[in-house]
């Protein structure tokens, strides 16, 4: 019997909540597994981008991954007259948890910016922490000082994200700089993309470019820029959460100082279980990562904990 290749389309369903239309991925639990896993993806994302990682998580329980407003093609908060602040993202996620899980315990896995939103949710809704049997940070962060950008680059990003979160500037930037032809010509030459695309052959390079174009065109640019400005000013260390955290970092993270991230997580959570994956020189799996590619981001120690019922 020929084994068919899994497709994210087989697991994605519409999600209509709080006046916004988006999508949700749901992968049922394997036989004998009872864990409910809520996966919150990071910045510049879609459900398809993280299908490889959700396949890995699915080995340990049912996986649910909702779109965030303004990402993955979901309508943005601007549609309902609100701004995409981290607080509003956290409120949206809290409403989803209450709707989806009710009396069920849930394991939360937040990736990068997704972990920031999950942290803020638990800070704003401490009663929800009682529903969480485990919270996992995959290359997550907690404070603006966690970034390793030079001061000039940091302030340039602050200024650009503020400017291009404005309506007219955002429309011009999307229409000109993010036109598919411009992205194909120049995107791979930008500072972050050079690091992202290094070590890839020509075929995979072109595949990644096409996925990047899809992401830039389908993630709402104002939301991308506004949330970028928000996390460049982030301080999630003002309120504690009565939970231990399982944190996965990578040795070659080109965005964050891992030592500072861990110090900040120790301020927020009651206990830190830290796991560093060596030999990885990128912040997160690539936009075309398979389950095999994404597997190192779920290290053995974490897998053993997830396997416990």
Alpha helices in the chain (DSSP H): 51-57, 86-101, 113-124, 151-163, 167-176, 180-186, 191-197, 202-218, 221-231, 258-268, 291-294, 300-307
- Contact between 94 and 125 (Cβ < 8 Å): yes
The verdict on residue 114 lying in a domain is yes
Q: 191 with 222, same domain?
A: yes
- Does pTM surpass 0.85? yes
CATH of the domain at 276: 3.40.50.1820
76 CB neighbour count, 10 Å cutoff: 22
Last residue of a domain, one of 176, 196, 227: 227
Give the whole-angstrom CA distance, residue 255 versus residue 154: 11
Answer whether residue 246 is part of any domain. yes
Query: Are 159 and 131 in a shared domain?
Result: no
Residue 224 contacts residue 174 (beta carbons within 8 Å) = no
Query: How many residues are present in the chain?
Result: 309
17 & 92 share domain: yes
Range of the domain at 204: 151-227
Whole-number pLDDT of residue 217: 86
**Residue at which a domain ends, from 168, 198, 227:** 227
Return d(Cα 272, Cα 234) in angstroms, integer.
20
Measured from the Cβ of residue 41, the count of other Cβ atoms closer than 10 Å reads 28
Other CB atoms within 10 A of residue 23 CB: 19
Give a yes or no: residue 233 inside a domain.
no
Q: Are residues 221 and 267 in the same domain?
A: no
**Nearest partner of 135 among 234, 28, 29, 247, judged by Cα:** 247
At 186-230, the pLDDT tens digits run 777 776 666 666 666 677 777 888 888 888 888 999 999 999 999
C-alpha dihedral (55, 87, 133, 303), degrees to nearest 10: 30
Choose one of 227, 251, 271: the last residue of a domain: 227
Q: What is the pLDDT of residue 186?
A: 79
Q: Is residue 128 within 8 Å of residue 101, measured between CB atoms?
A: no
pLDDT, position 205: 72
For the stretch 149-173, pLDDT in tens is: 999 999 999 999 999 999 999 999 9
How far, in Å, CA of 169 to CA of 300, rounded? 46
pLDDT at residue 287, rounded to an integer: 67
Which segments in the chain show pLDDT lower than 50? 1-3
Q: Are residues 192 and 255 in the same domain?
A: no
| Encoded tokens for 71 | 């990402």
* Separation between Cα atoms, residue 222 and residue 148, nearest integer Å: 24
Q: Of 122, 22, 109, 104, nearest to 58 (Cα)?
A: 109
pLDDT at residue 1, rounded to an integer: 42
Verify that 54 and 143 share a domain, yes or no.
yes
């Amino acid at each position: 019997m020929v084994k068919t290749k899994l497709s994210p389309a087989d697991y994605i369903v519409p999600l209509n909540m709080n006046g916004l239309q988006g999508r949700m991925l749901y992968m049922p639990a394997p036989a004998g597994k009872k864990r409910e896993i809520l996966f919150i993806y990071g910045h510049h994302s879609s459900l398809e981008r993280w299908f490889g990682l959700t396949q890995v998580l699915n080995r340990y329980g049912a996986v649910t991954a909702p779109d965030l407003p303004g990402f993955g093609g979901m309508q943005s908060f601007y549609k309902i007259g609100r701004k995409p602040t981290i607080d509003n993202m956290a409120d949206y996620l809290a409403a989803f948890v209450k709707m989806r899980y009710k009396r069920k315990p849930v394991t939360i896995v937040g990736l990068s910016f997704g972990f920031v939103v999950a942290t803020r949710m638990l800070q704003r809704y401490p009663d929800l922490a009682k529903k969480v049997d485990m919270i996992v940070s995959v290359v997550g962060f907690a404070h603006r000082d966690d970034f390793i950008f030079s001061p000039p680059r940091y302030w340039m990003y602050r200024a650009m994200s503020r400017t291009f979160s404005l309506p007219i500037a955002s429309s011009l930037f999307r229409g000109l700089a993010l036109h598919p032809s411009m992205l194909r010509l120049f995107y791979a030459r930008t500072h972050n993309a050079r690091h992202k695309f290094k070590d890839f052959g020509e075929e995979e390079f072109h595949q990644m470019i096409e996925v990047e174009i899809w992401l830039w065109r389908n993630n709402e640019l104002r939301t991308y820029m506004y949330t970028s400005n928000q996390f460049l000013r982030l301080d999630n260390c003002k309120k504690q959460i009565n939970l231990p955290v399982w944190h996965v970092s990578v040795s070659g993270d080109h965005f964050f100082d891992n030592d500072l991230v861990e110090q900040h997580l120790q301020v927020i959570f009651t206990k830190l279980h830290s796991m560093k994956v060596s030999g990885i020189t990128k912040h997160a799996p690539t936009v075309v990562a398979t389950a095999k590619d994404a597997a190192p981001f779920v290290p053995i120690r974490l897998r053993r904990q997830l396997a416990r019922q």
